[in-house]
């Protein structure tokens, strides 16, 4: 019974923190960050305690909620590593946010919302049922809306919040459709058709019962939900604009919550995808790998430091999804690959965003990298931490990114060699090219920010924050450097939850020319950026008027497609047509009501109360009836 309490407290702790921060923080605002951080720390402690139970057996505790739907928690190896990551990284971000938000008059609201955000993500991770998971999924979406638009007095922030909310609703609709089809298909098969333990334990028999094609269609709709939440192509457009919120919000969204939810959903329902028709898993692989390539290309021309990091998030999430999608060929290690990169990315991306936040505080919210420069001399501690995060992002040998990202590329090579088809070659091509692009935009960003001379007065005057504020970043930087030592133990730990017999789980290998190619591409990208941006050759080059620069700078006109064509030429006319129909319908209903009232008013006048009038009317009516009868008989 105690282990169940610890499991429930994983998400209840930050939920309590939300309430207390909102109430107490209203009167003691300086303590709001400490209150929220304390309860998230408790969530981390409960996650660690639960871990020691989960290594023996999963925790499953549920209660009847509705007919055929239970309310409960399911914590296995996959869920507990995710819960520990979310609570730990969120704690580091909250501790830094105490410094970052110290002068904000509404910081108690901010910390209450971030605690609720964390609670929603933890609840999503340990939910035992897809309906409950979806409720937490929506709570996470609501919190992202509130936090992206936290500085509501900024028009760009409110617009970004609405954009994120609307775009992710497309994915949420896909989730609802997928759940509905799944529920309808299994309602006569089991008493709890949306139970996560049931789905992952009986995926093969479900595929037989309802057919692989139908299960594949369900998987595609679930993938649609992941595409929306994890900002994959083509529903990626909300995440760069989401940078208008506080930088610590960006860190929370990109590292610990929100965007990782989509990848986790696919990993959680991995068996459903695996035993469905083959097109489901291939869709996961191709969407992820293409997104990794696309976001890497766009990241090359972005100057806003936070937006560069945003596109890097989109790209790295693509690697995670692609890894899972390779499972039909490489086996169950696919989930281990994707989840290990998810955790590795959460650590170094939180480090990068919080380092960027320190830059912004020092330079009065300056975000244009081309107006920075020289920060390694003026902010040596912060810039060194930023550099460590950058090394992990480009998968420099020895860093966490090297042990998490490069194996995905090796796995894509195995996927190609075993399929020997153009379709099988595309993930390898996209991911390998994406590796080069990651190096190019990362070192471009770093050289513009850190080396050379300051290119603005704000950069000239920038200074490091207090060391105590940077302690969470230092902790994350250590893990960004040493996390790779847990690669094989992590694979072994996640492996028991997969139940993939006859699928094997092994670390992917590749020929030496494949294993060394990412390192060669890293070196090429570094020296190209060193020449162009380290030696400041970019100042004498102007490619802004070329067609290819305009194409990439406008993000391949995807936003234009959505706003100018789909929104303005399709949705708005349809909305106007439906509005016209609705107005006509409402008008007819209202007119019927008014005509009824008028008729009633007219007949009410006949009710004069004079007896003689009533007798006269009866006589006249009788005469008229008699005349009509006579006429009918004559005819």
332-390 per-position pLDDT tens digit:
889 999 999 999 999 999 999 999 999 999 999 899 999 999 999 999 999 999 999 99
From 553, 582, 607, the end of a domain falls on: 553
Q: Are residues 513 and 462 in the same domain?
A: yes
Q: Residue 330 above 50 pLDDT?
A: yes
520-526-532-533 Cα dihedral, nearest 10 degrees: 170
Mean pLDDT of 471-480: 97
Mean pLDDT of 56-71: 86
Residue 243 within any structural domain of the chain: no
Residue 375 within any structural domain of the chain: yes
Nearest C-alpha neighbor of 315 from the set 355, 335, 288, 341: 288
CA distance 246 to 93: 12
Q: Are residues 421 and 499 in the same domain?
A: yes
Q: Are residues 504 and 531 in the same domain?
A: yes
Mean pLDDT of 460-472: 94
542-566: pLDDT as tens digits? 787 888 889 999 989 998 888 888 8
**If 0-12 CB within 10 Å is exposed, 13-18 middle and 19+ buried, where does residue 420 land?**
exposed
CA distance 29 to 585: 52
**If 0-12 CB within 10 Å is exposed, 13-18 middle and 19+ buried, where does residue 288 land?**
buried
Q: Are residues 516 and 577 in the same domain?
A: no
Domains in the chain, number: 2
From 529, 553, 577, the end of a domain falls on: 553
From 553, 586, 601, the end of a domain falls on: 553
Q: Are residues 548 and 627 in the same domain?
A: no
**If 0-12 CB within 10 Å is exposed, 13-18 middle and 19+ buried, where does residue 71 land?**
middle
> Is cis: bond before 502, omega within 30 of 0?
yes
Sign of CA dihedral 618, 623, 629, 632: negative
Q: Residue 505 above 60 pLDDT?
A: no
Sign of CA dihedral 531, 438, 410, 416: negative
pLDDT at 287: 97
Residues spanned by the domain of 590: 569-634
pLDDT at 498: 56
pLDDT at 570: 82
Q: Residue 190 above 90 pLDDT?
A: no
Q: Residue 622 above 50 pLDDT?
A: yes
Residue 115 within any structural domain of the chain: no
Question: Which one is predicted more confidently, 539 or 406?
Answer: 406
Question: Which one is predicted more confidently, 452 or 98?
Answer: 98
Q: Residue 1 above 80 pLDDT?
A: no
The answer to whether residues 294 and 237 touch, using CB atoms and an 8 Å cutoff, is: no
Q: Are residues 344 and 455 in the same domain?
A: yes
Mean pLDDT of 268-289: 95
199-241: pLDDT as tens digits? 999 999 999 999 999 999 999 999 999 999 999 999 999 999 9
pLDDT at 78: 94
pLDDT at 429: 96
pLDDT at 44: 97
Under the banding of pLDDT at 50, 70 and 90, the label for residue 574 is confident
Give the lowest-confidence range in 326-330, 392-396, 431-435, 605-609. 605-609
| pTM for this model (two decimals) | 0.91
Q: Are residues 515 and 594 in the same domain?
A: no
Give the CA radius of gyration of the chain. 30
Q: Residue 499 above 60 pLDDT?
A: no
Q: Are residues 337 and 402 in the same domain?
A: yes
Give the three-state DSSP class for 73: strand
pLDDT at 502: 42
Residue 428 within any structural domain of the chain: yes
């Amino acid at each position: 019974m105690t282990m169940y309490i610890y499991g429930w407290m994983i998400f209840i702790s930050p939920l309590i923190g939300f309430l207390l921060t909102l109430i107490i923080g209203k009167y003691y605002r300086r303590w709001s960050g400490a209150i929220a951080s304390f309860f998230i720390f408790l969530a981390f402690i409960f996650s660690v305690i639960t871990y020691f139970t989960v290594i023996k057996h999963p925790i499953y505790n549920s209660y009847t909620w509705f007919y055929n739907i239970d309310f409960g928690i399911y914590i296995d190896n996959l869920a507990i590593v995710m819960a520990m990551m979310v609570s730990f990284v969120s704690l580091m971000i909250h501790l830094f946010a105490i410094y970052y938000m110290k002068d904000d008059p509404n910081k108690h609201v901010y910390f209450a919302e971030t605690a609720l955000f964390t609670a929603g993500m933890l609840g999503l991770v340990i939910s035992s049922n897809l309906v409950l998971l979806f409720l937490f999924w929506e709570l996470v979406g609501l919190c992202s809306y509130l936090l992206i638009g936290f500085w509501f007095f900024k028009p760009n922030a409110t617009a970004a919040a609405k954009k994120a909310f609307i775009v992710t609703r497309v994915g949420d609709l896909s989730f609802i459709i997928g759940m509905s089809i799944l529920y309808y298909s299994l309602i006569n098969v089991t008493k709890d058709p949306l139970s996560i333990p049931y789905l992952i334990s009986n995926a093969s028999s479900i595929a037989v019962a309802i057919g692989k094609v139908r299960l594949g269609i369900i998987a595609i709709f679930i993938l649609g939900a992941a595409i929306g939440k994890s900002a994959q192509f083509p529903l990626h457009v909300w995440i760069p604009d989401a940078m208008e919120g506080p930088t610590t919000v960006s860190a929370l969204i990109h590292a610990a919550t929100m965007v990782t939810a989509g990848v986790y959903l696919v990993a959680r329902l991995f068996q459903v995808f695996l035993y469905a028709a083959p097109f489901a898993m291939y869709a996961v692989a191709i969407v992820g790998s293409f997104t990794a390539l696309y976001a890497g290309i766009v990241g090359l021309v972005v100057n806003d430091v936070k937006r560069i990091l945003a596109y890097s998030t989109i790209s790295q999430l693509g690697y995670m999804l692609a890894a899972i999608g390779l499972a039909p060929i490489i086996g169950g290690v696919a989930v281990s690959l994707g989840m290990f990169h998810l955790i590795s990315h959460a650590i170094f991306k939180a480090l990068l965003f919080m380092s960027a936040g320190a830059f912004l505080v020092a330079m009065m919210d300056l975000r244009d990298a081309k107006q920075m420069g020289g920060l390694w001399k003026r902010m040596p501690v912060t810039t060194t931490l930023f550099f460590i995060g950058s090394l992990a992002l480009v998968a420099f040998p020895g860093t966490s990114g090297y042990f998490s990202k490069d194996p995905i590329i090796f796995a894509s090579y195995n996927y190609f060699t075993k399929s020997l088809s153009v379709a099988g070659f595309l993930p390898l091509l996209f991911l390998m090219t994406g590796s080069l692009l990651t190096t190019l935009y990362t070192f471009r960003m770093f050289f513009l920010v850190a080396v050379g001379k300051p290119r603005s007065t704000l950069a000239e005057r920038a200074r490091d924050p207090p060391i105590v504020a940077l302690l969470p970043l230092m902790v994350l930087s250590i893990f960004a450097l040493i996390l790779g030592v847990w690669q094989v133990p992590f694979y072994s730990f996640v492996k028991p939850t997969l139940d993939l017999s006859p699928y094997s789980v092994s670390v992917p290998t590749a020929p030496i020319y494949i294993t060394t190619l990412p390192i060669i591409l890293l070196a090429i990208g570094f020296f190209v950026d060193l020449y162009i941006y380290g030696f400041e050759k970019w100042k004498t080059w102007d490619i802004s008027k070329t067609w290819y620069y305009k194409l990439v700078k406008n993000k391949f006109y995807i936003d234009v497609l959505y706003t100018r064509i789909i929104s303005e030429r399709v949705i708005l006319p349809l909305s106007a047509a439906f509005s016209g129909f609705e107005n006509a319908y409402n008008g007819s209903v209202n007119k019927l009501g008014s005509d009824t009232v008028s008729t009633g008013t007219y007949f009410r006048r006949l009710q004069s109360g004079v007896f003689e009038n009533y007798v006269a009317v009866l006589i006249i009516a009788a005469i008229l009836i008699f005349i009509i009868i006579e006429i009918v008989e004559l005819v």
